[in-house]
Each structure stands twice: as C-alpha cells, then as structure tokens.
Amino acid sequence: MTFTFATKERILLLNVLPAQGDILALRALRKLREDLSFSETEIPELGITQSGNAVAWKPEANTVTKEIEISPFCQGLIVKALAGMNSAGTLTADHIGLYEQFIPEG
C-alpha cells in the first residue's frame, strides 16, 4: 500500500520503527528505512540539520511530501509499535497523524 508522508512524518516514522526483531523483520525494515530516509539532494533542499538527537528543517519543508510503498508485513510492525506506544502512554501530539494513518479508529 502506498502512503504519503510529510518531512516531519518521515522523521517520526523512522524513530517509531523497531530496532530489533527476527531476520525477516530486520531485512524488511532496512528497506523501509532506506525509502523513508532523505537523499543527498533532499537534505540541503529541505534544510535538514541534526544536532545531537535533535533534527531540524526549513518550515517550508513541512509541505513537501513523498509517496512510499509499505508492505503489509511492515505495516503490521508499524501498527504494533504505535499501539505499544499508545499503551505505554509515550505517544506525543506529533504522532497523531501517523497513528491515524495506520490505526484508524472507528
């Protein structure tokens, strides 16, 4: 399934993805991380900088989006990670858009 993410959502999702798992999950997540990451041309265009753990970008970069294909397997990993954050109470207001894309509430 194809999803459209703004700059901020790409960065948030990179941080939501699990760092550990079995070999199949790690291989699938490696590909997804590559797709979510920023190219050498995007970094200066969007004004992306990093200082320690803090990442910043130009305000106008918030309107730039990228379509990314996410496999059902990776979608399941993302849903599990977001649901875990929800249960632990560690979601922030920044996560609302991502949460609603992957876990639509009825």
pLDDT of residue 106: 44
pLDDT of residue 91: 94
* Parent domain of 26: 2-37+66-102
The whole-chain average pLDDT of the chain stands at: 93
90 Cβ contact list (under 8 Å, min separation 6): none
How many domains does the structure of the chain reveal? 1
DSSP annotation of 63 reads G
SS3 11: helix
Residue 48 falls inside a structural domain: no
Alpha carbon 71 to its chain's center: 14
Q: Going along 1-106, which residue ranges are E strands? A: 2-6, 49-51, 54-56, 65-69
Residue in this structure with the two tokens 């798992």, named with its chain if needed: 21
Residue 16 falls inside a structural domain: yes
Residue in this structure with the two tokens 């900088």, named with its chain if needed: 49
Regions of the chain short of the pLDDT cut 70: 106
Predicted TM-score (pTM) of this structure: 0.88
Distance between CA atoms of 20 and 77, rounded to whole angstroms?
A: 11
DSSP annotation of 52 reads T
Residue 84 falls inside a structural domain: yes
Residue 29 falls inside a structural domain: yes
Residue 44 falls inside a structural domain: no
